[in-house]
């Protein structure tokens, strides 16, 4: 079943702007548009501030029941999407299952660059009530590289006209100027940042400077033949970019089962724990350069991981890449076997020893590692002797197994839900049934054996 993607539209637009993308991405992703307050069919009565828009989106995602999902944010919707993603990845909004974010000519978390004269003109359009047809058409034409075909042009103009004047004004006066850039740290969620080649204030330079740095796992691309209204202007090119990004970067690795994902999102789990599990559940970057090891050492560690921690299913974790991150960040378990150098130096030396052995296949490597474990494999060269290599192998096995067990999909596989011992309320819910084979009503059913 395709992953649900919640789509947040631009100023003066509505969920209708994603119809073309929805059709083109059907079968790969299931796009679900959300009308922000005061736009499309959504009343402004729920509130038109950035905070109120964010809360509306969070409620909509929660009500949907989606446990594996992504976000697309266009222009104004990009700012809201970035805040929703930040609150999801830190666990604070009670949502779980975010896989990726796509930003289309997005307004940044920092104040949006906007020409003062243009802002004043746009405010004038709504000063006396609804925006008129001439002004709406001027807005659409000013934000496209060339005139849209008749049907999308008519819909885009209609969306501008039906925008609630208070919602239009609130964004221009307040929302676009709000600075959220220091509220949340850089977000590790994989992100695709797209800019229209002919956009003005929010074009390629602005996206690289203001949005991309917030996404350490982000990618950037420019869409030719588009200005600001990318989904209307270039639906084929935008859909192709999103599809490629999803298949290449996101659609691999284990997915947390629905019942476990719902438990993680429940009040039984603290925000801090939920945030930790949200980061662990993110898909690995298959083509990312290693940070602590070199490419050959990383490939050798991948081979070791296949032997030491064979994973079920067809969507394994990249355990070696996760251990590489651990080494780069200095996040070991706080100790190392006597006689070994620092963790990263021990890994490099040991993997250099084993590198040639991986060329003969996993069965051969398994036999070599068995000899290493027994202290019977003496390196032909390098700084490690047989005893040191044996000690490293034991430590590395722990690191690889720890990375596997730490993933919430693995926790579901081994039927572990001890993380759900209580949320952030005044009193922890805890467990009531502690006997062997006993399961409480809220616990997931567990993996079938």
Number of alpha carbons in the 13 Å side-chain half-sphere of residue 248: 11
DSSP-derived 3-state class of residue 5: strand
Please say whether the beta carbons of 379 and 386 come within 8 A: yes
At residue 28, the 3 state secondary structure works out as coil
Q: What share of the chain is helix, strand, coil (3-state, %, to 5)?
A: 50, 10, 45
Q: Where are the beta strands (DSSP E) in 145-228?
A: 191-196, 218-223
Residue ranges and CATH numbers for the domains of the chain are: 3-250 (3.40.50.1820), 289-406 (no CATH)
pLDDT at 193: 99
Q: Give the whole-angstrom CA distance, residue 313 versus residue 252.
A: 11
Is the distance from CB of 22 to CB of 149 less than 8 angstroms?
no
Helices (H), 229-294: 230-233, 235-245, 258-264, 271-280
Distance CA 124, CA 131 (A): 9
Tell me the C-alpha distance between 404 and 321, whole Å: 12
The pTM score is 0.95
Q: What is the CA radius of gyration of the chain?
A: 25
Contacts of 36 (CB under 8 A, 6+ apart): 8, 9, 42, 53, 56, 57, 76, 77, 80, 167
User: Of 398, 393, 428, 132, which is closest to residue 270 (Cα–Cα)?
Assistant: 428
Nearest to 211 by CA among 45, 383, 79, 117: 79
| Token pair in block for residue 359 | 């060329």
Q: What is the dihedral of CA 332, 100, 421, 441, to 10 degrees?
A: -140
Contact between 89 and 215 under an 8 Å Cβ cutoff? The reply is no
C-alpha pair distances (Å), 101 with each of 83, 142, 207, 261, 327:
11, 27, 14, 19, 27
User: CB–CB of 191/215 below 8 Å?
Assistant: yes
What pLDDT does 427 receive?
84
CA dist list (Å): 398 to 64, 124, 338, 374, 417: 39, 65, 16, 16, 21
Strands (E), 9-137: 29-34, 69-74, 98-104
DSSP letters spanning 154-166: HHHHHHHHTS-HH
331: helix, strand or coil: coil
Note the pLDDT of residue 447: 61
Element (H, E) at 396: helix 386-405
Position 426 scores a pLDDT of 83
Task: Tell me the β-bridge partners of 194.
Answer: 104, 221
Which residue carries 């509306």 as its tokens?
A: 56
Per-residue tokens: 167: 């919602």
Residue 332: per-residue pLDDT: 79
Q: Over its length of 449 residues, how does the chain's per-residue pLDDT go in tens digits?
A: 899 999 999 999 999 999 999 999 999 999 999 999 999 999 999 999 999 999 999 999 999 999 999 999 999 999 999 999 999 999 999 999 999 999 999 999 999 999 999 999 999 999 999 999 999 999 999 999 999 999 999 999 999 999 999 999 999 999 999 999 999 999 999 999 999 999 999 999 999 999 999 999 999 999 999 999 999 999 999 999 999 999 999 999 999 999 999 999 999 999 999 999 999 999 999 899 999 999 999 999 999 999 999 999 899 999 999 999 999 999 877 778 888 999 999 999 999 999 999 999 999 999 999 999 999 999 999 999 999 999 999 999 999 999 999 999 999 999 999 999 999 988 888 899 888 888 999 999 876 64
**What was the pLDDT predicted at 448?**
60
Rounded to 5 degrees, φ, ψ at 210 are -105, -30
């Amino acid at each position: 079943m395709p992953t649900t993607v919640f789509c947040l539209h631009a100023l003066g637009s509505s969920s209708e702007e994603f119809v073309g993308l929805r059709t083109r991405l059907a079968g790969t992703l299931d796009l679900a548009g959300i009308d922000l307050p005061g736009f499309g069919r959504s009343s402004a009565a729920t509130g038109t501030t950035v905070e109120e828009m964010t809360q509306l989106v969070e409620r909509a995602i929660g009500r949907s029941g989606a446990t594996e999902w992504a976000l697309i944010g266009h222009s104004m919707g990009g700012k809201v999407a970035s805040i929703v993603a930040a609150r999801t990845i830190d666990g604070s909004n009670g949502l779980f299952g975010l896989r990726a974010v796509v930003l289309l000519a997005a307004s940044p978390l920092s104040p949006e660059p906007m020409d003062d004269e243009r802002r004043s003109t746009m405010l004038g359009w709504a000063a006396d009530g609804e925006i008129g047809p001439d002004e709406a058409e001027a807005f659409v034409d000013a934000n496209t590289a060339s005139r849209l075909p008749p049907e999308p042009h008519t819909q885009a103009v209609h969306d501008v006209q039906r925008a609630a004047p208070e919602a239009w004004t609130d964004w221009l006066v307040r929302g676009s100027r709000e600075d959220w850039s220091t509220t949340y740290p850089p977000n590790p969620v994989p992100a695709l940042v797209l800019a229209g080649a002919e956009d003005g204030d929010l074009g390629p330079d602005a996206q690289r400077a203001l949005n991309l740095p917030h996404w350490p796992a982000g990618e950037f691309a420019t869409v030719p033949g588009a200005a600001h209204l990318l989904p209307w202007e270039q639906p084929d090119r935008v859909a192709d970019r999103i599809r490629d990004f999803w298949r290449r970067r996101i659609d691999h690795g284990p997915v947390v089962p629905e019942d476990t994902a719902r438990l993680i999102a429940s009040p039984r789990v603290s925000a801090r724990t939920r945030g930790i599990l949200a980061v662990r559940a993110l898909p690995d970057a298959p083509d990312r350069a290693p940070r602590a090891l070199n490419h050959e050492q990383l490939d050798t560690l991948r081979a070791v991981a296949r032997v030491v921690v064979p994973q079920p299913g067809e969507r394994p974790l990249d355990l070696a890449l996760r251990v590489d991150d651990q080494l780069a960040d200095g996040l070991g378990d706080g100790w190392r076997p006597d006689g070994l150098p620092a963790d990263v130096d021990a890994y490099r030396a040991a993997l250099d020893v084993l590198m040639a052995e991986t060329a003969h296949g996993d069965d051969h490597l398994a036999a070599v590692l068995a000899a290493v474990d027994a202290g019977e494999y003496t390196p032909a060269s390098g700084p490690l002797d047989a005893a040191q290599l044996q000690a490293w192998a034991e430590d590395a096995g722990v690191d690889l197994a720890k990375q596997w067990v730490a993933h919430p999909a693995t926790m579901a596989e081994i039927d572990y839900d001890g993380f759900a011992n209580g949320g952030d309320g005044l009193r922890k819910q805890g467990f009531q049934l502690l006997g062997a084979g006993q399961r409480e009503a809220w616990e997931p059913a567990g993996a079938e054996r």
